[in-house]
Amino acid sequence: MADTVLDVADLEVFYGNAQAIHGVSLTIEKGELLSLIGSNGAGKSTLFKAICGMVKPRAGAIRLKGQNTARLSPARITEMGVAMVPEGRRLFRSLSVEENLVLGGYVGRPGPWTLRKVYDVFPILHERRRYPATALSGGQQQMVAIGRALMSNPDLLLLDELSLGLAPVVIKDIYALLPRILGEGLSTILVEQDVTRAMAVSDHFVCMLEGKISLSGRSDAFTHDQISAAYFGT
């Protein structure tokens, strides 16, 4: 398994006494796009936070290219090649578009992503580079968040609720760019509310329900009813 980028094994995460993740295991290979689906509160964002080191698991292992990251700081995990586009984007509100992007590159990891390449993929961001990030539309802000994550030249990109709150036409535009974004051997975990879309773009999927994995496998291997049962627990 030389090309396994992320290996999560028997993960248990708590907030105080409340358990949010129960024995979750998954792996992702180099260049793979994995969709992570599940209803509200299933534990998707918590799993992302654990992978980024923002919450510390009580048990289990998170291995990034073979190295256990469970006790490392979020900054160290970023240096090791994990970038997240968080739910709600969380741009630096007082900074310009370009300053947000440049900050994403502060870790100094070498790789294909530079300001020029981000502007090449998202020309509107070049046009608006001097604007405060918050002056942009929701879709453009999502592009800034994606660009900022790419600027760290990650090996593993975590996309949380990529299309939340965006107009259908904007969602279509962002998904149309996905092949260019992921075309560099990047491994990606995508949290997407639109299950049909999530299944269509991914190789494999994991469905979470109440902190556990209720179904996983190849994205083309299950019927709509099987996936719906795993999603809603019916």
For residues 47 and 97, which CB has a smaller minimum distance to Mg ion in the complex?
47
**Cα gap 58→193, rounded to integer Å:** 28
Q: How many residues does the chain have?
A: 234
Residues 111-150 that bind Mg ion (CB under 5 A): none
Smallest separation (angstroms) from Mg ion to the CB of 105? 26
Q: Which of residues 73-102 bind ligand ATP (CB under 6 A)?
A: 87
CA–chain centroid gap for 174, Å, is 14
Q: Which is nearer to Mg ion, 49 or 128 (CB)?
A: 49
> Total binding residues for ligand ATP by CB under 6 A?
12
Among 1, 2, 17, 40, binds ligand ATP (CB under 6 A): 40
Which residues partner with 33 through β-bridges? 188
Q: Is the backbone of residue 81 left (phi > 0), alpha (psi -120 to 50) or beta?
A: left
1 vs 18 by CB, closer to ligand ATP:
18
Binding flag, residue 18, ligand ATP (CB under 6 A): yes
Exactly one of 20, 64, 136, 215 binds ligand ATP (CB under 6 A); that residue is 20
- Torsion of the alpha carbons at 103, 108, 109 and 113, rounded to the nearest 10: 50
Where do the DSSP E strands lie in the chain?
Answer: 4-15, 18-29, 33-37, 59-64, 67-68, 82-85, 156-160, 187-191, 204-209, 212-218
CB of residue 135 to Mg ion, shortest distance in Å: 26
SS3 at position 171: helix
Of 41-60, which residues contact ligand ATP (CB under 6 A)? 41-46
Phi, psi of 30 (to 5 degrees): -60, 130
Exactly one of 35, 45, 78, 187 binds Mg ion (CB under 5 A); that residue is: 45
Nearer to Mg ion, 87 or 99 (CB): 87
Q: State in angstroms the smallest separation of the CB of 38 from ligand ATP.
A: 5
Q: Which residues bind ligand ATP (CB under 6 A)?
A: 15, 18, 20, 38, 40-46, 87
